């Protein structure tokens, strides 16, 4: 018997809404602009509108939402998220349940991406792996010993905010030298602009890497800094978790092949050899669909 789940992948710019069947995977999806200033209630109504044709057609059992953290899983409320100002103290789970009648569950976006990889992607059959989402920020979802790592209240893991140089650049979170402050796409673009001594519009990381490959020195410097910081970050993850795989996803992962060899080289010094030897670093094949598949799995398992 087909079992359908509604899946929502909340992002600061766009939100994806999808319908997933338990064994067949993602059946259909739509993208809805996230208009932050209109507030969470308006946004949730648009998601429910997008889902309505599917809810009429299929017997949908529950809804899962992946969202930027920090958030409270139990109440379905976001804490202050830098990209969603004014969206605190609103229970998405309660409101979506009211609109659709579906039991609704919420979890962090990177954790949900890890669930997607576990069921449908590179994480299938594994007990220990880490999903790293490379984008504006650095998200991490950790499966360790066959369990989802969430911490006591569900705020963990925030590996992107591990400090790797306390004299490093200021991070969005208020600390200095977090992994994200070095390897987040926006942070890297800002440093590229700074290093060239003038502020023009930000260049994306793909462009920086491409200029570096063409021999531009400023871009080359940013790219090697990025690779070094990323290797330190991955080395820490490998040493702490001894994962079978690290699965990379998110917009910036499309540029991974350019820096992969360099990062593997640096990793020889940054991770313990036995642990490094049994960790495979791979690119997600699910791409953006991973989060929707994971949100559906969240709904299925929490139901």
Tell me which residues touch Zn ion (CB under 5 A). 161, 171, 173, 178
- Closer to Zn ion at the Cβ: 138 or 234? 138
**Token pair recorded at residue 223:** 């790219």
Which residues have a Cβ under 8 Å from the Cβ of 194 and sit 6 or more positions away?
none
- Closer to Zn ion at the Cβ: 182 or 192? 182
Asked if residue 70 has a cis previous peptide bond (ω within 30° of 0), the answer is yes
Please give the sequence-ordered ranges of beta strands (E in DSSP) within 22-69, or none if there are none.
25-33, 60-67
CB of 201 to Zn ion, least distance (A): 24
CB of 159 to Zn ion, least distance (A): 10
CB of 181 to Zn ion, least distance (A): 6
**Token pair recorded at residue 126:** 């594994």
Q: Within 13 Å of residue 265, how many CA atoms lie on the same side as its CB?
A: 7
Which residues have a Cβ under 8 Å from the Cβ of 295 and sit 6 or more positions away?
5, 7, 8, 9, 18, 20, 64, 65, 66, 107, 112, 115, 116
Q: How many residues can be counted in the chain?
A: 303
> Contact at 8 Å (CB) between 295 and 64?
yes
- Closer to Zn ion at the Cβ: 18 or 139? 139
CB of 13 to Zn ion, least distance (A): 20
- Closer to Zn ion at the Cβ: 170 or 278? 170
CB of 233 to Zn ion, least distance (A): 12
- Closer to Zn ion at the Cβ: 121 or 184? 184
CB of 120 to Zn ion, least distance (A): 30
What distance in Å separates the CA atoms of residue 258 and residue 271, rounded to the nearest whole number? 21
- Closer to Zn ion at the Cβ: 46 or 173? 173
């Amino acid at each position: 018997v087909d079992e359908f789940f509604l899946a929502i992948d909340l992002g600061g710019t766009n939100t994806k809404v999808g319908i997933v069947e338990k064994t067949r995977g993602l059946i259909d999806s739509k993208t809805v602009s996230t208009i932050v200033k209109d507030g969470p209630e308006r946004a949730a109504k648009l998601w429910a509108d997008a889902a309505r044709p599917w809810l009429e057609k299929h017997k949908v059992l529950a809804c899962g939402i992946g969202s930027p953290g920090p958030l409270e899983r139990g109440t379905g409320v976001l804490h202050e998220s830098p990209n969603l100002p004014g969206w605190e103290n609103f229970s998405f789970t309660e409101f979506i349940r009211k609109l659709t009648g579906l039991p609704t569950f919420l979890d962090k976006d990177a954790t949900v991406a890890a669930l997607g990889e576990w069921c449908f992607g590179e994480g299938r059959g594994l007990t220990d792996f880490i999903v790293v989402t490379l984008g504006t920020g650095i998200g991490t979802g950790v499966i360790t010993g066959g369990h989802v790592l969430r911490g006591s209240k569900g705020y963990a893991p925030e590996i992107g905010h591990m400090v790797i140089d306390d004299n490093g650049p200021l991070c969005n979170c208020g600390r200095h030298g977090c992994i994200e402050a070095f390897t987040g796409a926006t942070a890297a673009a800002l440093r590229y602009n700074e290093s060239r001594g003038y502020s023009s519009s930000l260049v994306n990381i793909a462009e920086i890497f491409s200029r570096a490959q063409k021999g531009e020195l400023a871009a080359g410097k940013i790219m090697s800094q990025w690779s070094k910081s990323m290797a330190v970050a991955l080395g820490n993850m490998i040493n702490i978790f001894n994962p079978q795989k690290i699965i990379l996803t998110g917009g910036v992962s499309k540029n991974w092949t350019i820096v992969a060899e360099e990062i593997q080289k640096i990793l020889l010094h940054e991770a313990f050899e036995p642990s490094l030897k049994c960790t495979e670093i791979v690119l997600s094949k699910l791409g953006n669909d991973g989060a929707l598949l994971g949100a559906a799995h969240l709904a299925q398992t929490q139901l």
